[in-house]
Amino acid sequence: MTDTPRITDSHCHLDFPDFDGRLEEVVAQAAEAGVHRMVTICTKLRNEPAVRAIAEAHDPVFYAAGTHPMSAAEEPLTSTDALISIAQHPKMVGIGETGLDYHYTADSAEIQQTSLRIHIDAARQTGLPLIIHARDADDDMARILKEEYANGAYTCVMHCFSSSAALARAALDLGFYLSMSGITAFPKSTELRDIFAAAPVDRILVETDAPYLAPPPFRGKRNTPAYTAHTARRGAETMGMDYAAFAARTEANFERLFSKAADFRVAA
């Protein structure tokens, strides 16, 4: 497998019950597919110790932490200082996921926006990338990202991007990144693939969002980090690139954005 291109699953959820008792197998299967590194995402800060423990127990696993927008009204409002404190861990490499989701939780829009701005401030102060979840909130998302960037630069990835071309352009204009999930490989995702095809290839990441959104031929089944390779192969086609070249480019992109993960060395 030494000639298998190496890629990173930039967003998965290894603490979810779908992976209970299977983490050794999941990490090994990922390695076989060329997925040599993954970032597991904490969506509720009360679960941060458990997510951190997964990263500590598995060399290829890093983690990020934040309050998911769909949980913003149910979870205690975090603070910039609390996020900065968590970010001191050597394997904590991103702030979030945070963002706006008005699909099911539009009634909590105000607290979502407050939470988002706190996470942005933490990303700005730590230098770690912000990890954004956006659904049915494009106008507010673009507005807040721009307003906050004017208050001070920060880096950001639009995780599992499946929003409008206008939001993609707003993010790209700020120097942010778009992440391809299994959605980009769905047969009916032509418009989404067109958005990615029009984006600079040096601003693209790949992810699974596992256990959700498995790409073909596994659609409808439990997603797993190994399947990043299937999304990346479809991504290479979308970008008109050889798979090895696309894999190398997304690796370089990941390491530029998630520089803390790139710089991490396992202690001897």
pLDDT at position 265, please?
A: 76
| Calpha distance 176→174 (Å, rounded) | 6
Average pLDDT, the chain: 96
pTM > 0.85: yes or no: yes
Question: Does the structure show a pLDDT above 70 at 256?
Answer: yes
pLDDT at position 1, please?
A: 42
Rg of the chain on CA atoms, in Å: 17
pLDDT digits (tens, 9 = 90+) for 72-103: 999 999 999 999 999 999 999 999 999 999 99
Question: Does the structure show a pLDDT above 60 at 44?
Answer: yes
Q: Domains in the chain and their CATH numbers?
A: 7-263 (3.20.20.140)
Kindly give the residue spans of alpha helices, DSSP state H, lying in the chain. Answer: 23-32, 48-57, 80-86, 109-126, 138-150, 165-173, 190-197, 228-238, 243-257, 259-263
pLDDT at position 268, please?
A: 35
Question: Does the structure show a pLDDT above 90 at 26?
Answer: yes
Question: Does the structure show a pLDDT above 50 at 169?
Answer: yes
| Calpha distance 43→260 (Å, rounded) | 20
* 36 assigned ligand-binding residue: no
* 97 assigned ligand-binding residue: yes
* 138 assigned ligand-binding residue: no
Closest alpha carbon to 38 in 1, 87, 91: 91
pLDDT band (50, 70, 90) for residue 130: very high
User: Is the preceding omega at residue 217 within 30 degrees of 0, hence cis?
Assistant: yes
Residue 218 three-state SS: coil
pLDDT band (50, 70, 90) for residue 266: low
* 11 assigned ligand-binding residue: yes
Residue 153 three-state SS: coil
pLDDT at position 68, please?
A: 98
* 58 assigned ligand-binding residue: no
With beta carbons less than 8 A apart as the criterion, state whether 61 and 27 touch: yes
Give Cα separations from 247 to 8, 60, 202, 236 (angstroms): 9, 17, 11, 8
